[in-house]
Amino acid sequence: MSGVRPTGRAHLGNYFGAFSNWVALSREYETYLEIADYHALTTAFERTGDIAPGIHDVALDILASGIDPERCVLYVQSALPEIAEMHLLLSMIVPVAWLQRTPTFKDQIAALGGEIATYGFLGYPLMQLVDIAIVRATAVPVGRDQLSHIELGREIVRRFNHLFGPTLVEPEALLSAFPDVPGTDGRKMSKSYGNAIDIADDDAVTTKKIRSMLTDPQKIRRHDPGNPDICPVFKLHHVVNAERVPVIREECSTGALGCVDCKSECAERLNAVMKPVRDRRASIDPAGVARVLRDGAERARSVARSTLADVKAAISI
């Protein structure tokens, strides 16, 4: 089981870091993919008008990435009211200190401002666990930096099962190698930072964004030697132009390759890699997206109802 927040159109970090991995995993696992609109409220509660169009855009991006809705269950989080009820029930047994120690809690507040430090934001790791547990998922694809989230979820499951008997499945982390996809300002690509290149961006927009990217500040003139290890454009080459990385490193370091040419090559290669995804996106019938989400919700709810019923029976409600 995995998911994404509908905070706008998905970007290259989502595609290379998650969506393409979901496509591969769906060939091996029964897969549940969630568009997490409740989670979007944790940092965008004042912009709720963006959530509905965001759901449609993100669903388009997921399907364009190659996800087969016949093999995967794709659904919107709020279409499963069982998630909210189970979140409430489990919140009664989760110590506040467990939630406060989540590494991203303070990091996100520092990055996005203290106004996001709400009751709901504090509890979002619990809702993440409910998202996983309610469909009885046994594996969750994560990078090593997210292992603490899975371990917190496992602790909550163990606490519930200890108190009320074996009811919930303890999920395992499915370690995946997520590429480091930099944003246009050099930080991790994120909608929240305003530094994203979207999956749906056309060639011209993509090229313009890459041309705006920061490079080595010490490489002022074309033939100056550069330091590729501090250049986000070089990081992006690793993702979309891996076979050329050794040559680009050498030519940048010696001054044989200027930043303008380096960016142009990166943009050209990225547009070529994304062309089939963007072509699929343009060909998807918008009405079909709603149908996929509706069918996915029905399939997911059949499992969620059963899990919630077991939880309520365990605690005698």
* Per-residue pLDDT reduced to its tens digit, 90-147: 999 999 999 988 877 777 777 777 777 788 888 989 999 999 999 999 999 988 778 8
Provide the pLDDT for residue 42. Answer: 82
Q: Give the Cα separation of 145 and 286 in Å (integer).
A: 35
What pLDDT digit, counting tens, does each position of 255-307 carry?
999 999 999 999 999 999 999 999 999 999 989 999 999 999 999 999 999 99
Q: What is the pTM of this model?
A: 0.90
Residue 204's φ and ψ, nearest 5 degrees, are: -65, -45
Q: Where in the chain is the domain with CATH 3.40.50.620?
A: 2-181+286-314
The CATH superfamily holding the domain 201-280 is Tyrosyl-Transfer RNA Synthetase (1.10.240.10)
- What mean pLDDT, rounded, does the chain reach? 93
Nearest by Cα to 74 from 7, 173, 6: 6
Residue 161 in contact with residue 94, Cβ under 8 Å? no
- What is the tally of helices (H) and strands (E) in the chain? 15, 5
> pLDDT-based confidence at 169, cuts 50/70/90?
very high
Q: By C-alpha distance, which of 80, 89, 56 is closest to 303?
A: 80
Calpha distance 197→65 (Å, rounded)? 15
Q: Which CATH number fits domain 2-181+286-314: 3.40.50.620, 3.30.70.930, 2.50.20.10, 3.40.640.10?
A: 3.40.50.620
- Would you state the pLDDT for residue 80? 98
What are the start and end residues of each CATH 1.10.240.10 domain in the chain? 201-280
Structure confidence by residue, pLDDT tens digits, 30-44:
999 999 999 998 877
The one-letter amino acid at 77: Q
Q: What mean pLDDT do residues 168-192 have?
A: 88
pLDDT per residue as tens digits for the range 226-257: 999 999 999 999 999 999 999 999 999 999 99
Rounded CA separation 177/144 (Å) = 8
C-alpha closest to that of 92 among 164, 34, 43: 164
Closest CA to 196 of 204, 208, 185: 185
